[in-house]
Structure 1
Amino acid sequence: MSANELTPLDNALQHILDRAPVMSRTETVAVPDSLGRILAESLSVPADVPPADNSAVDGYAVCFGDISPGTPLSVSSRIPAGVAPAPLEPGTAARIFTGSEIPRGADAVVMQERVEYTDNMILIQSDVSPGQNIRRQGQDLARGDLALAEGARIRPQEMGLLASMGISQVPVTARLKVAVLTTGDELVDPGRPLGPGQIYNTNRFTLQGLLAQAGCELVYCETVRDTREATRQALATAAEKADLIITSGGVSVGEEDHVRAVLEASGGLSLWRLAIKPGKPLAFGAMNDTPVLGLPGNPAAVLVTFLVVAMPYIRKRQGRQDILPVGESLPAGFETGAASVRREFVRARKQGSPERPEVVAFPNQSSGVLSSACWADGLAVIPEHTTLRHGDIITFYPFTELLS
C-alpha cells in the first residue's frame, strides 16, 4: 500500500461495506422502547385496520335508498365510538361520531353541518352519495399484507402503525457495540485545567453523541497515550468488548501515529488514505478480527468522516434498508478555486426562499474548526476534479439525513 496513493471515496466505501456483516444478534423490545431501532424481521398485518367500516366525521348514518329530497328522517339511535351498533332501522338515521362503527343497513354518513336538526328529525341539505364519509374496513392495512419490512428503522409513525395492529413487542437488531479510542498525550477532559501544550478532548464527546444518535451502544471509551504499546493494548482490550472500534488520531504519517502502525504490523490494515477532504488519513482494518475504523484527529474531520464513511458502515451492520443518505440538488451560493483530486465535503447551510434556495459555505473550512459544523445544517459536496462556480448545481446532505 503506497503512502502516496489515495483511494477514491466510492471505492473505499465499497471496500468497507463489503466487510460490514449484518448483526446476527436480535432482541425483542416493547413498542414504547423501539424508537430508532431496526426491525429484525418483516411483519405481516395480523388483522384488518380499521377492523370495521367506521365514520370519518361526526354526523348521521343513513341508507342512500331512504333519502328523498325535502323529506326528513327520524333519528332512531345514537352510536358513540367503541360501541357495537344495532342495525339501522329502515327509513331512519343514526347519530354517529368520528371513529364509530357503521351500522348494518347504512351506506353513507352525512356531516352534521349538512343537516338541519329539529325535534329528533333531520333534513339533509346537501347531496349524498353511497360510501361518503365512510372509512372502509382494511383501507389502511389488510390482513396478511406486509406491514413493515425487515431493516426498517422505527420512527414515531412506525410505532403508531405497530400499535394500530395491536402489536406490543417487536423483534429488532441488537445495538452495535462500539469502542471509542481517542489518541494523544495532549488531550485533557473538560473540567480540568489545561497545562502547557494541552487541549480539551473534543473528539471523545463528538463521537459519543454521534454513536448515541446512530443507535449504537458505547461499551468502552479510553484516551490512549502516544506510545506503540499503549495503543496496541487499548486496541486489544477494545477488540474483546466491541463489534466495532472507532479511533480518532494516530492514522497519519507522523512518528506518534501509532494506530495505523499497530494495525499494519499485525496485518490488519486493509485501507488507508482516502481521496476525501477533510479526512484524508483515514484507516480501516481489524484488530483480532474486530473491525477498526481509524478517523483523523482534527475535530471537523472526525465529524465529516463519521457521517460520510462510518454511518453507512453502521447502517449496514444494523441491517438497515437505507444504507446511503439521500441528498438534495441545489444551486451553490459560493465558489471554489483550483480543482482537487479529492472529493470535498463542505460545512454549509441552505438559505434563501423556498422558491430560490441556495447553499452557502462557512468561510473557514479548516479541519480543525468545529464551530463551522455548529453554524452549518449539512454538508455540500464538491466532486473530484471540479471547479465550482456560483449557481452550479451541487449535492447537499442535511445533517438530519446523514444521521437519521
Structure 2
Amino acid sequence: MAQLSDDCFAFGGPMMSVDEAVAIIAARVAPVREVETVEIAQADGRILASGVSAPLPLPPFTNSAVDGYAVRSRDLPRKHEAAFVVRGRVVAGASAAEAIEPGHAVRIFTGAPMPEGADTVFMQEDVRLDDEGKVVLPEGLRTGANVRAAGEDISVGSAALPAGQRLRPQDVALAAALGLTHLEVRRRVRVAVFSTGDELVSPGASRAAAQLYDSNRFMLIAMLRRLGCEVSDLGIIRDDRDALAHGLKKVAGAHDLILTTGGVSTGEEDHVKSAVEKAGKLVLWRMAIKPGRPVAMGIIAGTPLIGLPGNPVASFVTFVHVVRPTVLALAGAAQQRLIAMPVRAAFSYTKKISRREYVRVTLHRADDGALEATKFPREGAGLLSSLVETDGLVELGEEITQVEPGQSVGFIGYASLM
C-alpha cells in the first residue's frame, strides 16, 4: 500500500487553487509498486508499467494502400496517358511471384506487398482497360503514390507506448499490431469508500421521514471504477467521531486511498475532521472552487484520505479535480489535463474573483451553426437532476467575474472526466 508522510499535503496558503492542488498531488503521491502482466484483451484502461519499444516496423513490409495497378516510377506517363501490359496479380497475404518488368503493370490489391521494382500504384478508379486488355494509365501521378512504406508508421526499436499510458482501445490495437500478447501494467489502485451521516440510509433499507437515500457513495464508486480502481464499499458510518476513527484505522492498511463523502464542513455535526485527527493527521483544504469548497485531505497510517462534500454536485466536481488526479498519481499514470472546448455562452452569470467555478450546461447548435451552452435553470449543489439533464461543465477561471451571452467560454463534457 502507499505509505505517505503525515505532512505530504501540507500547504501554507489560506485558500488553495485547483491548479495548486493538482500540482501538489502529482508531485507528492507515489504510485503503487506492484506490477502484473495481463493479456492485451484485458489491458484496456490499465496503466502501462514500462514503455513498449516496437519489435518490428509498422507496416512490416512495403504494401499497396489501394486496389489498383503497380508500376515502376521511371515508367510513369509524363505528358499523356499510356497503355501498359498487365502481367502478374498480387492479393493481400500473398507475395509477387517475380519482379516487375520495365513498361509493365501488376494488378495489386490493398495491403498486398509491392512487387520487386515497383514503387507507385494507380487507383483502379483512375484507370481504364483498352480493347487489347492493356491498362491505360493517366499522366501526372507522383512517384510513390498510394504506397505504404515499411516502417512509415513506426520504425523498429522506436518508442511505441510510453510508461504511464492509460491504455485505450487504440493503444491495445497498436500492441496487437506489434505482435504483443501481454503487457506489464500497474496493479489496480484499491480505494475504500464510505458515506457519513445519520440522515442517510442505503437504497433498499427502511427510510425514516427525515432521512435520505445515499446517492453519493454509488456515484463515487462508479467514477472510481471507470478510472480502473478496485473499490471496497464500506457503506454508511454514523455521525460519531470514535466510530469514524475506528473505521478509518481499520481500512487504512489494506487500501491505497480512503474516500469519504459528507461531514467535512465546520458544523457541530460534521465529525470527519475530528475523526481523522484522532486516527491520523488532517490537513483541511479549503479550495477556491465552487461548488465544493470544503475538501479534507489527511493521512491515516500512511494511506491518503480525501473527504468530499456531501452535496452531490459538489462531490462530483471535487472528485474530478482532487480525487481523479490522486488516483492517476497512485496508479502511476501521466496526469491527464482537462482541456476545455470553446463554445458560446447563451446565459449571463456573475461570480467572485479568485475562485474557479463550474456551471452545469447543455449544448445545442445555434442557427448559425455554432455550439451554444445553456445554463441549467436552477441553482444548488444538491440537485442531482442538474448533472443528469446537462452535458457538462463550463469552467470559469479565477480571473473571470462576469459572463454575458455571446461570450466564448470553456466547456468540459462529462465523458472526458472519467
TM-score by length of 1: 0.91
Structure-2 residue corresponding to 1:122? 134
Please list every run of 5 or more consecutive structure 2 residues that lacks an aligned counterpart in the other structure. Answer: 1-9
Structure-2 residue corresponding to 1:86? 97
- Rounded Cα–Cα distance in structure 2 between residues aligned with 1:335 and 1:66: 66
The offset of 1:153, in angstroms, is: 1.9
Are positions 1:48 and 2:57 aligned together? Answer: yes
Structure-1 residue corresponding to 2:37? 28
Are positions 1:108 and 2:108 aligned together? Answer: no
The offset of 1:402, in angstroms, is: 2.1
Structure-1 residue corresponding to 2:27? 18
Structure 1, 331-340 or 169-178: larger mean CA deviation: 331-340
Structure 1, 321-330 or 213-222: larger mean CA deviation: 321-330
- Equivalences for 1:281-300 in 2 at 5 Å? 281-300=294-313
TM-score by length of 2: 0.88
Amino acid corresponding to residue 270 of structure 1 in structure 2: V
- Rounded Cα–Cα distance in structure 2 between residues aligned with 1:217 and 1:99: 42
SS at 1:172 equivalent: strand
Deviations 1:8-38 (A, max 9, x none): 3333333433332122222221111111122
Amino acid corresponding to residue 100 of structure 1 in structure 2: A
Structure-2 residue corresponding to 1:77? 88
Structure-1 residue corresponding to 2:314? 301
Structure 1, 230-239 or 343-352: larger mean CA deviation: 343-352
Are positions 1:9 and 2:34 aligned together? Answer: no
- Rounded Cα–Cα distance in structure 1 between residues aligned with 2:232 and 2:187: 13
Structure-2 residue corresponding to 1:277? 290
The offset of 1:222, in angstroms, is: 2.3
Structure-2 residue corresponding to 1:237? 250
Structure 1, 368-377 or 392-401: larger mean CA deviation: 392-401
C-alpha spacing 1:114/1:6, structure 2 compared with 1 (3 Å): closer
Amino acid corresponding to residue 243 of structure 1 in structure 2: D
SS at 1:339 equivalent: coil
- Rounded Cα–Cα distance in structure 2 between residues aligned with 1:370 and 1:72: 70
C-alpha spacing 1:48/1:7, structure 2 compared with 1 (3 Å): closer
C-alpha spacing 1:260/1:120, structure 2 compared with 1 (3 Å): farther
* Contact 1:57–1:111 (Cα < 8 Å) also in 2: yes
C-alpha spacing 1:201/1:220, structure 2 compared with 1 (3 Å): closer
Amino acid corresponding to residue 146 of structure 1 in structure 2: A
* Contact 1:183–1:249 (Cα < 8 Å) also in 2: yes
The offset of 1:266, in angstroms, is: 4.1
- Rounded Cα–Cα distance in structure 1 between residues aligned with 2:126 and 2:341: 45
Structure-2 residue corresponding to 1:143? 156
- Rounded Cα–Cα distance in structure 2 between residues aligned with 1:369 and 1:340: 25
- Rounded Cα–Cα distance in structure 1 between residues aligned with 2:59 and 2:234: 48
Structure-1 residue corresponding to 2:393? 379
* Contact 1:176–1:317 (Cα < 8 Å) also in 2: yes
* Contact 2:100–2:118 (Cα < 8 Å) also in 1: no
Deviations 1:189-247 (A, max 9, x none): 22334222111110111011111111111134321122112111211122122100000
The offset of 1:341, in angstroms, is: 5.5
Deviations 1:96-149 (A, max 9, x none): 110000011222222223333368832324124432221111111111111111
- Rounded Cα–Cα distance in structure 2 between residues aligned with 1:105 and 1:383: 60
- Rounded Cα–Cα distance in structure 2 between residues aligned with 1:34 and 1:16: 26
- Rounded Cα–Cα distance in structure 2 between residues aligned with 1:168 and 1:300: 42
C-alpha spacing 1:10/1:117, structure 2 compared with 1 (3 Å): closer
- Rounded Cα–Cα distance in structure 2 between residues aligned with 1:392 and 1:130: 49
- Rounded Cα–Cα distance in structure 2 between residues aligned with 1:8 and 1:48: 46
Please list every run of 5 or more consecutive structure 1 residues that lacks an aligned counterpart in the other structure. Answer: none
Are positions 1:347 and 2:360 aligned together? Answer: yes
Give the share of equivalent positions with the same residue, in percent: 39
The offset of 1:267, in angstroms, is: 4.7
Are positions 1:357 and 2:375 aligned together? Answer: no
Structure 1, 104-113 or 179-188: larger mean CA deviation: 104-113
* Contact 2:54–2:155 (Cα < 8 Å) also in 1: yes
C-alpha spacing 1:15/1:139, structure 2 compared with 1 (3 Å): closer
- Rounded Cα–Cα distance in structure 1 between residues aligned with 2:124 and 2:89: 13
C-alpha spacing 1:54/1:13, structure 2 compared with 1 (3 Å): closer
* Contact 2:287–2:295 (Cα < 8 Å) also in 1: yes
Structure-2 residue corresponding to 1:370? 384
Structure-2 residue corresponding to 1:399? 414
Structure-1 residue corresponding to 2:4? none
- Rounded Cα–Cα distance in structure 1 between residues aligned with 2:410 and 2:82: 63
Amino acid corresponding to residue 291 of structure 2 in structure 1: P
C-alpha spacing 1:230/1:107, structure 2 compared with 1 (3 Å): same
C-alpha spacing 1:136/1:232, structure 2 compared with 1 (3 Å): same
Number of equivalent positions: 402
Amino acid corresponding to residue 64 of structure 2 in structure 1: S
What is the CA RMSD across the aligned residues, in angstroms? 2.5
- Rounded Cα–Cα distance in structure 1 between residues aligned with 2:23 and 2:99: 64
C-alpha spacing 1:132/1:340, structure 2 compared with 1 (3 Å): closer
SS at 1:282 equivalent: strand
The offset of 1:177, in angstroms, is: 0.6
- Rounded Cα–Cα distance in structure 2 between residues aligned with 1:120 and 1:103: 23
C-alpha spacing 1:119/1:51, structure 2 compared with 1 (3 Å): farther
* Contact 1:35–1:156 (Cα < 8 Å) also in 2: yes
- Equivalences for 1:314-353 in 2 at 5 Å? 314-337=327-350, 339=352, 342-353=355-366
C-alpha spacing 1:161/1:248, structure 2 compared with 1 (3 Å): same
- Rounded Cα–Cα distance in structure 2 between residues aligned with 1:17 and 1:322: 7
Amino acid corresponding to residue 30 of structure 2 in structure 1: P
- Rounded Cα–Cα distance in structure 2 between residues aligned with 1:136 and 1:18: 42
* Contact 1:37–1:153 (Cα < 8 Å) also in 2: yes
Deviations 1:36-84 (A, max 9, x none): 1222111111111111110111112223445676764333222111112
C-alpha spacing 1:51/1:194, structure 2 compared with 1 (3 Å): same
